[in-house]
């Protein structure tokens, strides 16, 4: 049913050959499946005897799927990276897609493997870490609990036993894992990781009224405001990505900074997972 409806929604038509080719079923079975869809989603499709296709009717309304443009574009990105997607395969011919490249960041695959094991099995890692502030590699015990992505680099969120606090570590700067051990003590809550900050975003005040309307529609704002929920631990990266890392960002020309930060507040609800 989802296959039939996906084709009808995105391509506007379907025939028995689409089902037999995709699923390897017989023509009678394909006819039965389309017939079942007609029963379940009355009024959604019309058959054209001359073209021998079923077309989405003018009153077509999805029953089995929830069409989502953001999901489609995300899956196009996955396809461009060589990963398969059921939704895209349901479309038939996948449209050409180009992703503007960003430089790959180097990571040691053995380090990633050890981080994953440590997170899953509650282990501590003794690592070599190269920061930007020091000329020498430092040694420290880490208790990692989560991965994070800032649209450019992957981080690991971990309790640093050297600094005695939770910190973000760029995975590419973790040179080597030297030792692994069971936890030596109970750790405090990672409050910044568990705290959500709501960023209230609006169009730049210097924009013309029609330009503000464009921005409000682009960002799906309500009454000129968009609320973005971010983990406090990742707030720095979120603000940097949106151009809010400079407190005077609203003073930039509106053609350079089309959105501005109107305010922020902490909230008990969950944060959002952004897309790049």
pLDDT at residue 107, rounded to an integer: 92
- Residues of the chain under the 50 pLDDT cut: 275-276
Q: What angle do CA 263, 165, 151 make, to 5 degrees?
A: 50
Residue ending a domain, among 11, 42, 67, is 67
Q: Report yes or no on 133 lying in a domain.
A: yes
pLDDT at residue 170, rounded to an integer: 96
Q: Report yes or no on 93 lying in a domain.
A: no
Q: Report yes or no on 134 lying in a domain.
A: yes
| Residue 234 and residue 262 share a domain | yes
- Count of domains forming the chain: 3
Q: Report yes or no on 276 lying in a domain.
A: no
CATH label of the domain that carries residue 35: 1.10.10
Residue ending a domain, among 188, 222, 238, is 188
Q: Report yes or no on 143 lying in a domain.
A: yes
pLDDT at residue 84, rounded to an integer: 63
Residue ending a domain, among 157, 188, 219, is 188
Q: What is the distance, to the nearest Å, from the Cα of residue 221 to the centroid of all Cα atoms in its chain?
A: 19
Q: Is 179 helix (H, G, I), strand (E, B) or coil?
A: strand
pLDDT at residue 276, rounded to an integer: 40
pLDDT at residue 269, rounded to an integer: 66
pLDDT at residue 109, rounded to an integer: 95
Question: How far apart are alpha carbons 8 and 58 in whole angstroms?
Answer: 11
Whole-model pTM: value is: 0.76
pLDDT at residue 71, rounded to an integer: 78
Q: Which domain range does residue 226 map to?
A: 193-267
Task: Please state the φ and ψ torsions of residue 90, each to the nearest 5 degrees.
Answer: -65, -25
| Residue 207 and residue 166 share a domain | no
- Per residue in 158-214, pLDDT (tens digit) is 999 999 999 999 999 999 999 999 999 999 999 999 999 999 999 999 999 999 999
Concatenating the DSSP letter of every residue in 25-71 gives: --HHHHHHHHHHHHHHTTTSEEEETTTTEEEE-TT---SS----HHH
CA nearest neighbour of 239 among 206, 269, 207, 274: 274
């Amino acid at each position: 049913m989802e296959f039939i409806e996906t084709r009808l929604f995105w391509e506007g038509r379907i025939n028995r050959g689409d089902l037999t080719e995709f699923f390897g079923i017989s023509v009678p079975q394909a006819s039965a499946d389309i017939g079942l869809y007609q029963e379940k989603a009355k009024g959604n499709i019309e058959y054209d005897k001359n073209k021998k296709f079923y077309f989405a009717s003018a009153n077509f309304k999805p029953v089995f799927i929830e069409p989502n443009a953001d999901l489609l574009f995300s899956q196009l990105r996955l396809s461009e990276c060589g990963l398969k997607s059921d939704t895209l395969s349901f479309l038939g011919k996948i449209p050409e897609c180009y992703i503007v490249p960003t430089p790959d960041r180097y990571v040691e695959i053995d380090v990633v493997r050890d981080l994953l094991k440590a997170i899953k099995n509650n282990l501590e890692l003794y690592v070599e870490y190269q920061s930007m502030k020091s000329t020498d590699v430092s040694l420290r015990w880490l208790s990692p609990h989560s991965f994070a992505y800032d649209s450019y680099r992957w981080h690991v969120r971990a309790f640093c036993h050297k600094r005695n606090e939770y910190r973000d570590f760029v995975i590419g700067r973790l040179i080597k894992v030297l030792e692994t051990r069971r936890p030596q003590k109970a750790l405090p809550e990672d409050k910044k990781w568990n705290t959500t900050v709501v960023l209230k975003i609006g169009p730049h005040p210097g924009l013309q009224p029609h330009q503000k309307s464009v921005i409000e529609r682009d960002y799906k704002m309500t009454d000129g405001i968009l609320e973005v929920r971010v983990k406090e631990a990742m707030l720095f990266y979120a603000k940097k990505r949106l151009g809010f890392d400079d407190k005077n960002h609203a003073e930039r020309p509106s053609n350079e900074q089309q959105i501005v930060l109107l305010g922020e507040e902490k909230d008990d609800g969950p944060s959002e997972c952004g897309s790049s």
